[in-house]
Amino acid sequence: MLTASHRDYRILTAETVPAYLADIPTLRERLGGSASEWRARDVADGNLNAVFLIDGPKGGLCLKQALPYVRVAGESWPLDINRATFEYRYATRVAPHVGALQPQMFHYDADQYIIVMEKLEPHIILRKALISGTHYPRVPVDNAEFLANTAFHTSDLAVPFERKAADMEVFARNLALQRITVDLVYTDPYVDVWRNKISEPLGAWAEALKRDIDLKDAVTRARLAYLSKAQSLLHGDLHSGSIMVTADETRIIDSEFAWVGPTGFDTGNFIAHYVMAWFAKPFQPNQATDATTYRALLTADIVSFWQRFEERFLAIWRAFDGDNDGVPATVYASAVDRARLESFRRAYVADLFADTVQVLGIEIIRRIIGYAQIADFHVIEDVATRAEAQAGALAFARSLLIHPERYQDIASVVAALARFENAGLLPDTTRHL
């Protein structure tokens, strides 16, 4: 979406990218040589933006430009280009706490809505690895480290309220992308809207979800939490398409959906994509690993992610002695106070877990019924087979949301997966699986 204030904005192409970079001395220096020697490739893969990789005689760069519309939909779906600002602001805000777990940012152009960053090579998108059955064991550990740090250091546990208010002031303006999240994640699957993409075999499931008032109540509680529980700065879209990997490195990318909200949004989103990979796995073609083995790796990764997140979040909190207004050290001054603080910490993390489970269920439902569906299921060519895999995931998601008391720890979440895989295309909402 363009306004009069964007009159200098131009959409770059692989042909025009070298000339753009040639005008920026620090970037010219990184590439080496001159523009005529640089090769730019359009590698856009996500739903929203243009992305180019550029190689020069000395080095490479990645350039990302916000388009004035949703890339995968085209100009019929206009979208505010200021989203690039929020991606850049998030990356710089969390940089002191996450180190090399995100790409280095080299340049931000506030007129062209362009970010130029480290080119990640030979990294691949984690979703592609999950689909091919290739295992990257560092991911759960690294992502737990990333999220424990971003969640803690941007919360009232770690900063004076004035600092958090400054974050809220910035990211509360990320309105266009929050409209997408509120609509596509929290609302669309429960109403009739043109954006939903419901395959014919999933028709009964889609109808059942829309009629299930217990489910809709649970989703409404989560939607209200997303809008009103300003707990920490969220990445806002941390799924397997927002993580790039090699065997030794994990990089979190694409933080344009950043928002101050419930911490469980990021943790639940991440786990949801491992769970969907689990349901899709037996039906995906061309696998590097046998499905049973890979499923066991996925469940182990889910458990180790949560355990590591909890362990690191608590350890960072225990070691922290900076100013904050949420849990002031002056209030917890005696040995008795400090012992009580430890049980307070445990309760805080239990609340994060409950929010995580809610978002886990909600993210699964929106990726199967809603607009932004995922390749993990769509590589299954046979629509009926794909729907069977998706139905299992929907049944599991519904159970998480309407029976949260059954899912008090991560072991009970993964232990339940197999109970739902044969849920079938006719949802039985009276059968409390």
- Closest to ligand SR1 by CB, 18 or 46: 46
- Report which residue type is found at 143: N
Partner touching 84 among Mg ion, ligand SR1, none, CB below 5 to 8 Å by kind: none
Q: What is the 3-state secondary structure (H, E, C) of 307-346?
A: HHHHHHHHHHHHHCCCCCCCCCCCCCCCHHHHHHHHHHHH
Burial class (CB in 10 A: 0-12, 13-18, 19+), 140: buried
CB of 134 to Mg ion, least distance (A): 21
- Closest to Mg ion by CB, 46 or 370: 46
- Report which residue type is found at 62: C
Q: How many CB atoms lie within 10 A of CB 424?
A: 14
CB of 48 to ligand SR1, least distance (A): 6
d(CA 255, CA 233) in angstroms, rounded, equals: 11
CB of 79 to ligand SR1, least distance (A): 8
Partner touching 51 among Mg ion, ligand SR1, none, CB below 5 to 8 Å by kind: none
Pairing status of strand 243-245 against strand 105-109:
unpaired
3-state helix, strand, coil in the chain (%, to 5): 55, 10, 35
Partner touching 180 among ligand SR1, Mg ion, none, CB below 5 to 8 Å by kind: ligand SR1
Q: How many CB atoms lie within 10 A of CB 426?
A: 9
CB of 242 to Mg ion, least distance (A): 5
Partner touching 360 among Mg ion, ligand SR1, none, CB below 5 to 8 Å by kind: none
CB of 47 to Mg ion, least distance (A): 6
Partner touching 372 among Mg ion, ligand SR1, none, CB below 5 to 8 Å by kind: ligand SR1
Partner touching 184 among ligand SR1, Mg ion, none, CB below 5 to 8 Å by kind: ligand SR1
d(CA 9, CA 11) in angstroms, rounded, equals: 7
- Closest to ligand SR1 by CB, 181 or 399: 181
- Closest to Mg ion by CB, 128 or 163: 128
CB of 47 to ligand SR1, least distance (A): 4
CB of 253 to Mg ion, least distance (A): 8
- Report which residue type is found at 264: G
Q: Which two tokens stand for residue 288?
A: 């590097």
CB of 241 to ligand SR1, least distance (A): 6
Binding residues for ligand SR1, rule: CB under 6 A, are 46-47, 70, 180-181, 184, 237, 371-372
Phi, psi of 67 (to 5 degrees): -90, 155
Partner touching 70 among ligand SR1, Mg ion, none, CB below 5 to 8 Å by kind: ligand SR1
Q: Give the N- to C-terminal CA distance of the chain in Å, as an integer.
A: 45
- Closest to ligand SR1 by CB, 69 or 420: 69
Spatial neighbors of 401 by CB under 8 A, at least 6 apart, are 215, 218, 219, 222, 358, 361, 362
d(CA 88, CA 254) in angstroms, rounded, equals: 9
Q: How many CB atoms lie within 10 A of CB 292?
A: 9
Residue 312 has, within 13 A of its CA and on its CB side, a CA count of 22
- Closest to Mg ion by CB, 80 or 254: 254
Strand, coil or helix: 193? coil
- Report which residue type is found at 215: L
CB of 237 to Mg ion, least distance (A): 5
d(CA 353, CA 144) in angstroms, rounded, equals: 13
Pairing status of strand 114-118 against strand 105-109:
antiparallel
Contact 174, 80 (CB under 8 A): no
Total number of residues shown for the chain = 433
- Closest to ligand SR1 by CB, 265 or 294: 265
- Closest to ligand SR1 by CB, 197 or 419: 197
Partner touching 352 among ligand SR1, Mg ion, none, CB below 5 to 8 Å by kind: none
Binding residues for Mg ion, rule: CB under 5 A, are 46, 254
- Closest to ligand SR1 by CB, 124 or 425: 124
Short-list 386, 396, 369, 372, CA closest to 284: 386
Q: How many CB atoms lie within 10 A of CB 220?
A: 14
Partner touching 145 among Mg ion, ligand SR1, none, CB below 5 to 8 Å by kind: none
CB of 120 to ligand SR1, least distance (A): 18
Kindly state the helix (H) or strand (E) to which residue 384 belongs, with its residue range.
helix 383-402
- Closest to ligand SR1 by CB, 240 or 263: 240
